[in-house]
Amino acid sequence: MNDSNSVSSLYPPPPPYIKFFTKENVDRASQARAAHRATDPEQITSELDFLVPPPIPSAGHYRAFGNIWQVKDELPDLETVGLRKLYDDSGKQDNNYQYKIKQLHKLLKSLLLNMLELIAILGVNPELFPQKVEHIRTILFNIHHLLNEYRPHQSRESLIMLLEEQLEHKKSEIQHIHATCDKVEAQLANLCKQYIE
């Protein structure tokens, strides 16, 4: 049989330090941690060092699943990425989302105009289209950046809507319970009246 057709495993094999995770080592590590808690919690024998989880990163970046992730997730400015900012944000506050909506409308109109100009350029002189495509690319990156700035407001509004829906559902349940209690009380009063008569 040909070895080139052999199927490889879907998941990688476990790391070599998995052999240190035995019941005896786990018990020894917990006893060592309890004994050294007052002095230094990292002071454990080298064999048991694999059982100590790494410290949580507080600044910079970390690697997980082959990717590098930033500890503090921030939206970079367009200038730092190397793109031109097409909207003015000098006089806006961070929470003025109406301003961002107006800027999005302006960018969308500009995008439509540039698309029409691209169609006209392709009809007249197709060799001149790269510059117009670059304009469209810049506009799209600006729209994307504004939408990402709008995300905190969107998540707050989504949370408010979810809480309002839950509140309405709870109110309807309470009204249903009150209506059922009123029916039961009416039936009990009717039964008591019939029993007394």
Q: Tens digits of per-residue pLDDT, 114-156?
A: 999 999 999 998 888 899 999 999 999 999 998 888 888 888 9
Domain extents in the chain = 92-195
Q: Give the number of C-alpha atoms closer than 13 A to the C-alpha of residue 78, restricted to the C-beta side.
A: 20
Task: Judge whether residue 7 has pLDDT over 60.
Answer: no
The predicted-structure confidence for 167-185, as pLDDT tens digits, reads as follows 999 999 999 999 999 999 9
Asked if 146 and 87 count as a contact pair (C-beta separation under 8 A), the reply is yes
Q: Are strands 61-64 and 67-70 parallel, antiparallel or unpaired?
A: antiparallel
pTM of the model: 0.53
Q: Is 68 helix (H, G, I), strand (E, B) or coil?
A: strand
Eight-class DSSP state of 61: E
66: left (phi over 0), alpha (psi -120 to 50) or beta: left
Q: Percent of the chain, pLDDT > 70?
A: 86
